[in-house]
Structure 1
């Protein structure tokens, strides 16, 4: 029992375990134990799984790139609409200021017209009073 352990240690310390011959023996043992078809199926399955994962990751990357491009396009469109909306709002504000200025001018003109009408009414009343005085004076002179 002591000798096999010693021979295993001497085997372990040698390059036998790392040699290509030992590694091919390991493959032979795997094929013997699992069967050559099972071993190759395991390798094929792992490769196909890795390829599938790579394919899925590539598809997701493409989707993300497309999504990023779509978002860039949407951002650009949104900026265009914002600019149009903001310029429209500025125009509306400018037009409303112009409208307010025009409305103020119209209001001032109406007030001037009303003031002139009041002066004319006062002048007419003054003339009316003078006419009454003249009529009364004439009436007094004719008596």
Structure 2
């Protein structure tokens, strides 16, 4: 992700997230040294993004978004795979994420990438209030290995 991508990422963020980050928050995340920030492009335009952070052997998938017209064609999966491969180079061993309990399609997507359900965080989300499903995967050279 480059500074020139911020506006496009922010636009996608607004389109796909119930509670979206500001462009300032996105810029700040891009400056985070222990992070992986990636974009996907199609036809010369940013069509997806992902943000990971790591600390020691653990990481977290913070955000992922794909433009509505570019969903279901592998962009999100490619972003997750590339991010996990880059984390492996940093000696990260596992990756966590939270997803809304009602977002079954996202949970299925993450399961397809090797993430397994490890618990629930009650009242984690606001607007609307909802539990988060906590998921984890091993970070290995070839993503999708599970834990």
Q: Which category of TM-score, normalised to the shorter sequence, fits these structures?
A: under 0.3
Larger radius of gyration: 1
Q: Which has the higher helix share?
A: 1
Q: Which has the higher strand share?
A: 2
With the length of structure 1 as denominator, give the TM-score of the two structures: 0.20
- Comparing both chains, which one has the higher relative contact order based on Cα–Cα distances under 8 Å and sequence gaps of 6 or more? 2
